[in-house]
Amino acid sequence: MNSVNLSARLQVVADYVEHGARLADIGSDHAYLPCYLAQNNRIDYAVAGEIVKGPYLNAVSEVSKLGLKETIDVRLGDGLEVLTAKDNIDTITIAGVGGPLIVHILEEGKQKEKRSGKETLILQPNINERIVREYLMNESYVIDAETIVEENAKRYEIIKATAVNDKVNYDEKDLLFGPFLKKKKSQVFLDKWKSEAKKYEYIIRQMEKADERNDEKINESTERLNLIKEMIK
């Protein structure tokens, strides 16, 4: 049987999934993640959800080819709508989409009672990680682990969070940089924020030159730039 090899970022996501999990992988594409976990006897069961017909068919084909239909159920549908109460999902993974879309999927799933709010969440936003951390905080989740990896000249952050009874309060630095990432300050982390600092410097220069100055936005961007500079010094 062919064994599935994961990209660096998906490998981190896989490593964060606990043994014996009942997994929902949303936006599963080829279902590489649940296939890898099933092959390595890491999960009891998985739903691979995909909203787009092409990737859904790719996932069906992959699961069938690897003989994993007993463990992985591939479903076509929007976000967490693919789930039923009988699935008893305890872990949700969403990787490779923007932060705002991740928040939308989780919130809509909650509103439609497709998630209990107790599931372990493993999330890999492509952009705007801050909004994801803020949502987790407001939903009474604590961030347990974070990793930043570089792959194909892009940098990705992976966040693992579990539900808690008492809301955790993260400050602006925690939300922006990540409570674990800001302590570790890996080279990938520093490279990312050096690059972000340059972007903010450029944006501020452009705003200052504009015919109609928006001082509020300039001040907001300057505050953000100062936070970044302090973090990477």
| 80-84, 113-117, 196-200, 211-215: least confidently modelled range | 211-215
Residue 115 in domain: yes
Residues 151 and 194 reside in one and the same domain: no
**What is the residue-averaged pLDDT of the chain?**
96
Residue 3 in domain: no
Range of the domain at 36: 8-180
Residues 154 and 218 reside in one and the same domain: no
Residue 2 in domain: no
Q: Which pLDDT does position 115 carry in this prediction?
A: 96
Are residues 28 and 34 in contact, defined by beta-carbon separation less than 8 angstroms? yes
Residue 193 in domain: yes
Residue 23 in domain: yes
Residue 216 in domain: yes
Residues 53 and 112 reside in one and the same domain: yes
Please determine, for residue 1, whether its predicted confidence score (pLDDT) is greater than 70.
no
Distance of alpha carbon 124 from alpha carbon 24, whole angstroms: 14
Q: Which pLDDT does position 29 carry in this prediction?
A: 86
Residues 162 and 95 reside in one and the same domain: yes
Residues 108 and 198 reside in one and the same domain: no
Q: What is the pLDDT of residues 28-44, one digit of tens each?
A: 989 999 999 999 999 99
- Could you tell me the two tokens for 231? 């973090």
| 6-20, 130-144, 178-192, 199-213: least confidently modelled range | 199-213
Residues 211 and 171 reside in one and the same domain: no
Q: What CATH number did the domain enclosing 74 receive?
A: 3.40.50.150
Residue 196 in domain: yes
Nearest-CA neighbor of 132 among 91, 101, 90?
Answer: 101
Mean pLDDT over 139-157 rounds to 97
Residues 175 and 215 reside in one and the same domain: no
Which value, in Å, is the radius of gyration of the alpha carbons in the chain?
19
Residues 36 and 82 reside in one and the same domain: yes
Confidence category of residue 85, pLDDT binned at 50, 70, 90: very high
Residues 107 and 151 reside in one and the same domain: yes
Mean pLDDT over 122-126 rounds to 98
Residue 201 in domain: yes
Residues 136 and 89 reside in one and the same domain: yes
| Environment class of 10 (CB within 10 Å of its CB; exposed 0-12, middle 13-18, buried 19+) | buried
Distance of alpha carbon 54 from alpha carbon 76, whole angstroms: 10
Q: Which pLDDT does position 3 carry in this prediction?
A: 84
Q: How many domains does the chain have?
A: 2
Residues 152 and 225 reside in one and the same domain: no
Q: What is the pTM of this model?
A: 0.95
Residues 51 and 113 reside in one and the same domain: yes
Q: Which pLDDT does position 231 carry in this prediction?
A: 97
